[in-house]
Amino acid sequence: MDLYFRTIESEVDRAYAVAEKARHVGYDPEVVPEIPRAQDMAMRVEKLLAHLGIEGISTEIRTLAATLPREEVALTIARRIARDPTRGESTAERVEAALRVGLAILTEGILVAPLEGLAEVHVIEGRDRAPYIELYYAGPIRAAGGTAQALSVLLADVVRRDLGLAAFRPDPEEVGRYKEEIPLYKSLQHLQYVPTPQEIDLVVRNVPVAISGEATEGDAEVSAFRNLERVRTNGIRGGACLVIAEGLCQKAAKLQKIVEKLGLDGWEFLAGLGLHSNDDPEEARTPKYLQDSVGGRPVLAHPNHPGGFRLVYGRARTTGLAACAVNPATMVLLQNFVAIGTQVKLEYPGKAAAMGVCDTIEGPIVELDDGTVTAVHDLARAEALRSRVRRIIDLGEILVSVGEFLENNQPLVPSGYSLDWHLEELREAGAPESEGLGVASYDQAVRCPDVPRSPPSALAPLLA
């Protein structure tokens, strides 16, 4: 393993040497490669925001990350930078540096959101001469994801409190502007979550920093709430709409847990978000992942219908973050349409995932051209039977990590009875370990005389 990584480092060194030599010829806008090298998240953050003068901050990030979750690392460092008088000549400069660094930590230093998504940060004197914070978002904030979008607003509030800045208080016209603007944005761009007017009102009136931004949708403009004193454009502010809808409203439950853990007051309004039901009864009965389906794309299975995928919790070496896996036989019998890397929308946990493979979970059950019903669990058999399959009765198992449910704040749902569960029941029933508890054939299971006929107490309610 060490040799492998040393080889990678050596090849990267060689590539950068070639690039630097080519750049020094002078045919490019820059005479050195623009992409800095970084070994971990902490160094990526430092390199990404080098223009802020934060040299050496990677050491502090690593120290904190060893004992704290990423959200608390971002909060701790943002607060320190905001209070550091050497970080800028004005309060606005310190607040901007603090929030950009915090957002970079939340997005692990790999996205453009801290640079271009959070376009500007302003400290504006209010009508009562008390300064408040205005966050000026742009379209690239979408890449940060809903959680980081919402946390960027929370970071701004914590920094605001530390510096003694006032809370933002919107005018009724400004509240109405968002109620008009967010549905207009939805008609132009995709939104994962469309809040109700009541939710928009609740957020805008209670969030203690101003959420604004630049016009992102060309010539599209609001028609009712125009020419407001504190809003610089009549255009649709896509970044602000995203932060309110997909950030604060959609991720309210997750944000509420963080707020409670940090012991912050003033965010109790989160409890009233994300609870609305759809006014259209027919649409309300349609799962969201089907509502978002695009014409022409296949639906592999409908929710809770027999024949769809059977959920199995776990992780394979062939999966990673936001990933799932099926048996390779399933891919073959679906005419190779589902390939490794295919993006799929899942009923649970609700987010899109990249498809991988795992040959230790079950494959599909199919009916052949002669009426035979058989399970296909391996690639070679799937290839041999592919031309004889009349219909797929069951798509087999799909492997999803428990962590995906936790990340998306989705309660765990019951899974199918698995071999791992069965082996634990055998151990509880007193099956001899000496004979092994591996996968037995049907004939071996029938002949086994050592397993008691009466089920253990844990299994009895299930069998009843």
Residue-wise pLDDT for 356-374, tens only, equals 999 999 999 999 999 999 9
Residue-wise pLDDT for 87-134, tens only, equals 777 899 999 999 999 999 999 999 999 999 999 999 999 888 899 999
Token pair belonging to 288:
């969201």
Helix (H) or strand (E) holding 313: strand 310-313
Looking at per-residue pLDDT, the higher value among 404 and 444 belongs to 404
Token pair belonging to 197:
């007017």
Token pair belonging to 7:
């080889």
CA distance 382 to 356: 17
Token pair belonging to 92:
């606005």
Model confidence band, residue 23 (pLDDT cutoffs 50, 70, 90):
very high
CA distance 273 to 239: 20
Q: First-to-last CA distance in the chain?
A: 51
Percent of the chain clearing pLDDT 70 (strictly above): 90
**Other Cβ atoms within 10 Å of 206 Cβ, number:** 17
- Res 41 pLDDT > 80: yes
Model confidence band, residue 453 (pLDDT cutoffs 50, 70, 90):
very low
CA distance 135 to 220: 22
Return all residues near 312 (Cβ < 8 A) that are at least 6 apart. Answer: 361, 397, 398, 399, 400, 415, 416, 418
Model confidence band, residue 28 (pLDDT cutoffs 50, 70, 90):
very high
**Other Cβ atoms within 10 Å of 360 Cβ, number:** 14
Torsion sign (Cα): 351, 355, 361, 365: positive
**Minimal CA–CA distance to 191: which of 132, 129, 146, 130?**
146
Model confidence band, residue 464 (pLDDT cutoffs 50, 70, 90):
very low
| pLDDT, average across residues 63-86 | 93
Model confidence band, residue 438 (pLDDT cutoffs 50, 70, 90):
low
CA distance 13 to 243: 40
What's the pLDDT at 415? 86
Q: Supply φ then ψ for residue 137, to 5 degrees.
A: -95, 155
- Is 155 in contact with 130 (CB distance < 8 Å)? no
User: Across the chain, which distance is largest between two alpha carbons, in Å?
Assistant: 86
Among 26-30, 105-109, 284-288, 349-353, the minimum mean pLDDT is found in: 284-288
Percent of the chain clearing pLDDT 90 (strictly above): 62
- Is 147 in contact with 251 (CB distance < 8 Å)? yes
What's the pLDDT at 320? 85
Return the CA Rg of the chain: 27
